Amino acid sequence: MENNIILKKVSKEYKDFKLNDISFNVPKGSVVGLIGENGVGKTTTIKAILNIISSQGTIIVLGKDNKKYEQEIKQEIGVVLDDSFLSDYIDIKKIDSIMKDFYKNWDSKKYFNYIKKFKLPKDKMINDFSTGMKMKLKIITAISHNPKILILDEPTSGLDPVVRNEILDIFREFIAEDEERSILMSTHITSDLEHISDYIVFIDNGHIIFNLPTEELLENYGIVKCKKEEFEKIKKEDYIKYKKEKYQYEILVNDRFKFKKIYPINTIDRASIEDIMLFYIKGENK
């Protein structure tokens, strides 16, 4: 079993929104980032994997069907949801007491060690935590039962760069501890993914636009800037999308090395994940 999570043609229909034939895998030892605008299906996909909502298609987690073996599987998953947690009216010790009952592998020592490491207040109610502290607490809670998989929905949203970095470090440590582990992380802060994800799945309007190694996106994709006359000489199969700006044309290509060899245009830059996303969403087709 090479993949911790397998999604095969997962679909879900709501009144005004449809998730369409989503298929992708989360391999062992890897971090998969799920990107897309707000409301396009990232959270729906995550909730479908966790069987919090029903869906069509097949979802296999740790080799088992996620509906038939739901409780067994969930023992091995740590979850951070964007707007939902255990309660607003409890504190750190009470969380430990409750989680012991749910998770067979709950490690109180590890939990309190992390709490100490991140200097979280032991006798305040969650309600009185800052956003950053609350998120760290949610994450610590998710990893303290040594799960095989972390599923995270917007784990860094609303946080300042320093806290975001601390949190990404926690994730890196998590995945380095055991090479069987995986992380599936949805976020709209794509710059975070550039420093941690191994694969990126881009969802738009309920379906997958691409599913590629981060390395390929950051290394091979590029943005070409040129004049109109130069643009008109470019063959359609050599680029993906283009944008007509005030003073230039901007073109997204998926192999900047090959492009450079064919066309005598010098202004080719690497593309960031954010650039790529914007081109796909706002750029024009050929």
Compute the distance between CA of residue 282 and CA of residue 279 in angstroms, rounded to an integer: 5
Shortest CB 20 distance to another protein, Å: 18
CB-based contact 7:45 (threshold 8 Å): yes
Would strands 3-13 and 207-213 be described as parallel, antiparallel, or unpaired? unpaired
x/- mask, another protein, residues 123-142, rule CB under 8 A, reads --x-----------------
Nearer to another protein, 151 or 224 (CB): 151
Segment 86-115, which members bind another protein (CB under 8 A)? 86-90, 94, 97-103
Cβ neighbours for 12, distance < 8 A, ≥ 6 positions apart: 18, 19, 44, 48, 53, 54, 55, 56
81 binds another protein (CB under 8 A): yes
Cβ neighbours for 10, distance < 8 A, ≥ 6 positions apart: 19, 21, 22, 23, 45, 48, 55, 56, 57, 58, 59
Nearer to another protein, 1 or 52 (CB): 52
Nearer to another protein, 82 or 281 (CB): 82
47 binds another protein (CB under 8 A): yes
The stretch among 48-56, 111-119, 156-164, 276-284 that binds another protein (CB under 8 A) is 48-56
- Give how many residues touch another protein by CB under 8 A: 51
Nearer to another protein, 198 or 250 (CB): 198
Alpha-carbon torsion, ordered 267, 273, 276, 278, to 10 deg: -120
176 binds another protein (CB under 8 A): yes
What DSSP character marks residue 82?
A: S
**Could you tell me the CA-to-CA distances from 220 to 12, 211, 266, 279 in Å, in that order?**
34, 15, 16, 15
The stretch among 67-75, 182-190, 234-242, 243-251 that binds another protein (CB under 8 A) is 67-75
DSSP-based three-state secondary structure for 200? strand
CB-based contact 241:251 (threshold 8 Å): yes
Shortest CB 228 distance to another protein, Å: 23
Sheet holding 3-13, edge to edge: 18-27, 3-13, 56-61, 64-65
What DSSP character marks residue 284?
A: B
252 binds another protein (CB under 8 A): no
191 binds another protein (CB under 8 A): no
Candidate residues 13, 37, 70, 180; the one interacting with another protein per rule CB under 8 A? 70
The stretch among 34-42, 79-87, 183-191, 227-235 that binds another protein (CB under 8 A) is 79-87
Residue 199's DSSP bridge partners are 32, 213
Candidate residues 154, 198, 250, 275; the one interacting with another protein per rule CB under 8 A? 198
Shortest CB 51 distance to another protein, Å: 8
Binding site for another protein (CB under 8 A): 29-31, 47, 50-54, 70-72, 74-75, 77, 79, 81, 83-90, 94, 97-103, 125, 151, 168, 172-173, 175-176, 179, 195-198, 213-215, 218-219, 270
